Structure 1
Amino acid sequence: MTKTKWALDPSHSSVDFSVRHMMIANVKGTFNSFNATIEADPADLTTANIEFSIETGSVDTRSKDRDGHLVSADFFDVENHPNMTFKATNIEKTDEGEYNVTGDLTLRGVTKQETFAVTFEGQGKDPWGNEKAGFSAQGTLNRSDYGLVWNAALETGGVLVGDKVKINLQIQAAKAE
C-alpha cells in the first residue's frame, strides 16, 4: 500500500500527560487543542511523515489556578511559545503494529530528540463509509530538558513537581480525500 494523507479527528483523539506531585501522587492533564499532519501507510509506518502540534495554552488540569501557572513564564511561557511541536525523523518497527517513533520535539524554544512507543490500533470504515485508522503513543520526557524548571522544596524533603512527564496520545485519523 502507498502512503496516503490522514486528517486528525480531534473529537476522537486525546493528548494526556501525568506528572508526580509532592512525590506521593500523580496529577493528570490534557491539551484540548492539537493538530497533526500524517502521511502514512497504516500497515507499515516506517516510511510515514508525521508532524504534530499542540497549543500549550490549551492545557487543562481541572484547576484554573494550576492551568494559569502552567501557561505562565514559570512553565510553558505561552506568550512567547504558544506551540509545542514534534516532527518524526526515524521510525523503527519493533513488532507487528508496534513502532519506536523518534523525532524532534520543540517546547519552549528548545528542541530535543524524543522517542515514543507507537501502536497501530487498527483500521476500518465508519457507518458513513469514511476510512479511519487508530494509533496510540506513549513516552516520557524530562521537563527540565526544556527549561521547565520551576519547583518548590517540600518541608518533608523532595520537591513539589516531578521532572518526568508521562505522555499518552490516543489518535484517530480519517483518510483525507
Structure 2
Amino acid sequence: MWCLAAALLLATAAAPAAAQPVDYALDPTHSSVTFEVLHFDTATIRGRFSLLNGTVQWDRSAGRGRVQVVIDTASVSTGVPVLDALLRRDDLLASGPHPQAFFVAEQFSSGADGAVQAVAGEFTLRGSSRGLRLQAQRFRCYTHPLLRREVCGGDFEATLPRSAFGITHSLPFVADTVRLLVQVEAIRQTP
C-alpha cells in the first residue's frame, strides 16, 4: 500500500502543472491600427488610429484566450488635417457620439508551434457590432532585453465593409471595402 501511495505521489509531482492563462497589456507605443480604402479607383487613402489600449489573456498550451482592445476614433490621422476632420464627422466615424471603437475576441487559431495564426471576435464601430477575423501575417514572443519580461506581438490583417457600420458617405467613389492592418505588441504582466 505504501509503495502504491509513493508511486501516485511521484507521478503527480512529475506531471506537468496545468497551464494557466497569462495576462498581457498592449504597449501603446508599439500598437496601432492602420486602414486603407480605394479612392476613385485610382489611389489608396491611408490612415492610422494611434491611440489604443487593451489587454490579452492567453493560455498558450490550450490555444485559448481573450482580447479586448479600445480604439480612440478621434485619433485618426491621414496626414491631411482637412481629411482627418472630415473622418471624425457624424456621417463617417462619428467620433463625437462614438469616441471609441472596440474589438473583443475569444477565438484563437494557433499553429503547431503554438503561434497565433488568427483571432476572431466582434468589432464595434459607431454603435454597430459585426464579426471580424484578424489573420496573423507574423507572430512571435520573446524576452524583451530592457523590460526582462515576455513580449508577444505581430501584424494582423482583415477587411470589412464600412457600409455594415452605417458609413456610406462617398459611396461608390470611395470603396466600401476597408483593409485593416493591425500592429500589436503586448507585455506580459506580473502575476
- Shorter chain as denominator, the TM-score bin is 0.7 to 0.9
Q: Is the 8 A contact 1:36 1:50 kept in 2?
A: yes
Q: Is the 8 A contact 2:73 2:100 kept in 1?
A: yes
Secondary structure of the residue aligned to 2:71 is: strand
Q: CA separation of 1:91/1:131 partners in 2, compared to 1, >3 Å: closer, same or farther? A: closer
User: Once the 2 structures are TM-superposed, how far is the Cα of residue 121 of structure 1 from its aligned partner?
Assistant: 2.4
Q: Which residue in the other structure is 1:90 paired with?
A: 107
- TM-score (structure 2 length as normaliser): 0.82
Which of these two proteins has the greater Rg computed from alpha carbons? 2
Q: Is the 8 A contact 1:121 1:136 kept in 2?
A: no
Q: Is the 8 A contact 2:30 2:185 kept in 1?
A: yes
Query: In structure 1, which of residues 68, 72, 76 is the aligned counterpart of residue 93 of structure 2?
Result: 76
Q: CA separation of 1:144/1:44 partners in 2, compared to 1, >3 Å: closer, same or farther? A: farther
Higher normalized helix content (fraction of residues): 2
- TM-score (structure 1 length as normaliser): 0.88
CA distance in 2, matches of 1:63, 1:37: 31
Alignment partner of 1:19 is 2:32? no
Alignment partner of 1:166 is 2:179? yes
Alignment of 1:127-138 (within 5 A): 127-138=146-157
Secondary structure of the residue aligned to 1:40 is: strand
Higher normalized strand content (fraction of residues): 1
Q: CA separation of 1:85/1:125 partners in 2, compared to 1, >3 Å: closer, same or farther? A: same
Aligned residue pairs: how many? 170
> Which structure 2 segments of 5+ residues have no match?
1-18
Of all paired residues, the percent bearing the same amino acid is 28
Q: CA separation of 1:32/1:48 partners in 2, compared to 1, >3 Å: closer, same or farther? A: same
Q: Is the 8 A contact 2:108 2:116 kept in 1?
A: no
Secondary structure of the residue aligned to 1:104 is: strand
Q: CA separation of 1:89/1:128 partners in 2, compared to 1, >3 Å: closer, same or farther? A: closer
Q: Is the 8 A contact 2:36 2:46 kept in 1?
A: yes
Task: Tell me which of the two structures has the higher relative contact order, counting C-alpha pairs closer than 8 angstroms and 6 or more residues apart.
Answer: 1
Letter in 2 for 1:141: L
User: Once the 2 structures are TM-superposed, how far is the Cα of residue 44 of structure 1 from its aligned partner?
Assistant: 5.0
After superposing on structure 2, the runs of 4+ consecutive aligned residues of structure 1 that deviate more than 4 Å are none
* Alpha-carbon RMSD: 1.8
